[in-house]
Amino acid sequence: MKLHNAMWPGLVGKEPGTDHPPISLDRMLELTAQASVDGQKFDGVDLFLFHPHTDPDASESDLRKMADKIAAKDLAVGSLVAPVWPGTVGDSAMGSIEQRSKFIDAVRKACRIARILNEHGVRKYGVIRIDSATGTKAAAKNEKKAIKKIAATFREAGMVAAGHGERLAAEGEVCWGGMHSWKSMVSLLEAVDMPGTVGFQADLAHTYLYMLGVNSPKTAILKTGKGGTRSQRDFDKAYGKLTDALRPWTIDFHVAQSDGTVYGTGSHDRTGRHCPADDPNGKLDIPACSAKWLDGAAGRGIRHICWDGCMFPNALLEKQDTWNTVLKSMLAVRASIGG
């Protein structure tokens, strides 16, 4: 199983002109390439296909130069994040015809970039990541209708991806309408009904909030006490229920840690708080929980796993020790599944 680092922590939640400006792709690549634990390194990176890291309309020449740069650091490219949100290329997957057309266009642009990276040789595996690009409040007005409309958009996007030999993975994050609970996520994937092409991207931090019922209390399956305490028996039972429901759909996987708290800004309405891999407040046994999701991973086409840690302070992201700690955690995950 190849080990990748996500490049988007250098972008998500970052704002030019503040004390947490975007961190360039070059710098994120440098930190990733320099990480080392007992002589072992990251195998690759997953990319966010939007400014300032990647122009979704970049020329083939510029994309090949980026690929050369990544390959020169002995890194591969895996999964790609399509710019499906309003304000990037895309728009709401349950919006107007024009908005949904923008969503499809974002997927089409991501597929074009994927093709160029594949032909270059720097990319040999991975998926294209999407979500509904729709807030929970809009979808909650009529959830069944919302899921039906989002599914129609995902199905059309799936056909575009299939035409390029690509697969789409919808990330389970509680801030996205129609995807905000584990039950709605399953319903959406079933409605799309393209299991070989449109699947699920499991993130340890986000899926933990599925268990707590954040943004969907009626679907909570894990009871917690004061300070987020819970028995191991209750956790194991709830985690088994969650992974049994979504693992068959899982085609991409993010290693992460959660302290069980939530926050959000803008379209990220009460989203999951990632925390450092070694955070003492972390609620997850990362290797054990990852192994639940990765059972049978090869049969679902998963050839790599990726670390996801968004909205950390730049001071933490700029420390090389941060990435060494992340790599150590990733190595433990790989060991838990036998390599």
Please write the tens of the pLDDT for every residue from 83-93: 999 999 999 99
Predicted confidence at residue 264, as pLDDT, reads: 58
User: Structure pTM?
Assistant: 0.96
DSSP letter at 258? E
Angle between helices 182-192 and 204-212 (to 10 degrees): 110
Cα distances (angstroms) measured from residue 166 to each of 79, 144, 331? 10, 28, 27
Give the residues across from 257 on adjacent strands: none
Please write the tens of the pLDDT for every residue from 128-155: 999 999 999 888 889 999 999 999 999 9
Q: How many helices (H) and strands (E) does the chain have?
A: 11, 10
User: Quick one: which of 171, 159, 154, 163 has its CA closest to 114?
Assistant: 163
Superfamily covering domain 2-336: Divalent-metal-dependent TIM barrel enzymes (3.20.20.150)
Average pLDDT over residues 1-29: 95
Q: Distance between terminal CA atoms of the chain?
A: 6
Pick the range with the lowest mean pLDDT from 33-47, 98-112, 212-226.
212-226
Spatial separation of the C-alpha atoms in residues 331 and 161, rounded to whole Å: 31
The answer on pLDDT for 80 being more than 70 is yes
- Record the tokens describing residue 261, joined without a space: 């708290």
**Residue type for 193, please?**
D
CB 309 within 8 A of CB 23: no
CB 256 within 8 A of CB 308: yes
Please write the tens of the pLDDT for every residue from 304-339: 999 999 889 999 999 999 999 999 999 999 999 998
Please write the tens of the pLDDT for every residue from 236-269: 999 999 999 999 999 999 999 999 888 755 555 5
Domain map of the chain by residue range? 2-336
